[in-house]
Amino acid sequence: GNSVTQMEGPVTLSEEAFLTINCTYTATGYPSLFWYVQYPGEGLQLLLKATKADDKGSNKGFEATYRKETTSFHLEKGSVQVSDSAVYFCALGRTGSARQLTFGSGTQLTVLP
Amino acid sequence: EAEVAQSPRYKITEKSQAVAFWCDPISGHATLYWYRQILGQGPELLVQFQDESVVDDSQLPKDRFSAERLKGVDSTLKIQPAELGDSAMYLCASSRGGEGLEQFFGPGTRLTVL
């Protein structure tokens, strides 16, 4: 079945540091890949997505590239801000009659000023 | 900007009581999802609707949980009786359907069972 594995957290960085959160997946076929972000007390917000191999999703300075050969979709940001503190979820989606998302366990990011 | 609405935001109940959560998806979104998110984990799908029909409820504990979307718009998730292990965040999401997979999430209902 489909599964997503994220690097364990929590991750604590200083402001302006480089961020990488690893995500690997197992899936049949060709899934779409997503990063969602969850701020304290809120629901999930879509951060970026990629629908096919070698696609790069980007938003708000965050980037992730769909790597089919390594089954990975690592999230990166060159310079994090305090406001980026949140929980980040990697997810894969499958098409077909039941369009569903499978989420990883999430990575807590704290950015210190 | 259209949003998914959920109520209540917080619910505290005692075990063996009944609780109900409400969700109003983004207008025009045919697909509606209910997720349970245990603290420190990712969301897990409980039930998926396409219009008023259940597409997948394989992970819904049907002995105590029920969900409906009678007119294919808003939806209610019920737990009766609630157990201590049901304490979690209950998230509702909706999507346009078709080939698009992007889901839009509501703020969630935080349930605490005492």
Contact A45/B at CB under 8 A: yes
Query: Between A34, A95, A101, which is nearest B99 by CB?
Result: A95
- pLDDT above 80 (res A95): no
Contact (CB<8Å) B101/A42: no
Q: Which among B35, B105, B27 has a CA at the least distance from the CA of B73?
A: B27
Among the listed residues B91, B76, B77, the one whose alpha carbon sits nearest the alpha carbon of residue B39: B91
Q: How far is B102 from chain A (nearest CA, A)?
A: 8
Q: Where does the pLDDT of residue A16 fall: very low under 50, low under 70, confident under 90, or very high at 90 and above?
A: very high
Q: Between these two residues, A97 and B49, which has the higher pLDDT value?
A: B49
Torsion, CA B48, CA B49, CA B54, CA B60, rounded to 10: 30
pLDDT at site A98: 59
DSSP annotation string for A43-106: -EEEEEEE-STT-EEEETTEEEE-BTTTTB--EEESS--GGG-EEEEEEEEE-SSS-EEEE---
CA distance B111 to chain A (A): 13
Determine the longest span between alpha carbons in chain B, in angstroms: 42
pLDDT in the model for residue A113: 95
Q: Indicate if the pLDDT at residue B14 is higher than 70.
A: yes
Rounded Cα–Cα distance for residues B4 and A93 (Å):
20
CB contacts under 8 A, A 10-39 vs B, are 32, 34, 36
- Residue B85, Cβ neighbours under 10 Å: how many? 10
d(CA A66, CA A12): 25
pLDDT by residue (tens digit) across A17-39?
999 999 999 988 788 999 999 99
- Give B99 to chain A, closest Cα distance, Å: 7
How many beta-carbon contacts under 8 Å exist across A and B?
Answer: 58
Read off the pLDDT of residues B17-74 as tens digits, 9 standing for 90 and up. 999 999 999 999 999 999 999 988 899 999 999 999 999 999 999 999 999 998 889 9
Find chain A residues with C-beta within 8 A of B40's C-beta: 105-106
Confidence grade of residue A97 (pLDDT, cut at 50, 70, 90): low
Inter-chain CB proximity B101 and A101 less than 8 Å? yes
| The pLDDT value given to residue A105 | 93
| pLDDT number for residue B97 | 72
Q: Which amino acid, one-letter code, is at A23?
A: C
| 8 A C-beta contact, residue B36 and residue B88 | yes
At A94, is the pLDDT very low, low, confident or very high (cuts 50, 70, 90)? confident
How many angstroms separate the CA of residue B18 from the nearest CA in chain A? 24
More confident residue, A40 or B12: B12
Contacts of A98 in chain B (CB under 8 A): 48, 55-56
Most A CBs within 10 Å, among B103, B104, B109, B110, to test the A interface: B103
8 A C-beta contact, residue B68 and residue B75 = yes
Q: Are A88 and A79 in contact (CB under 8 A)?
A: no
Q: What is the mean pLDDT of residues A42-49?
A: 92
Residue B100's pLDDT is what? 62
A85-89, A98-102, B50-54, B101-105: segment of lowest average pLDDT: A98-102
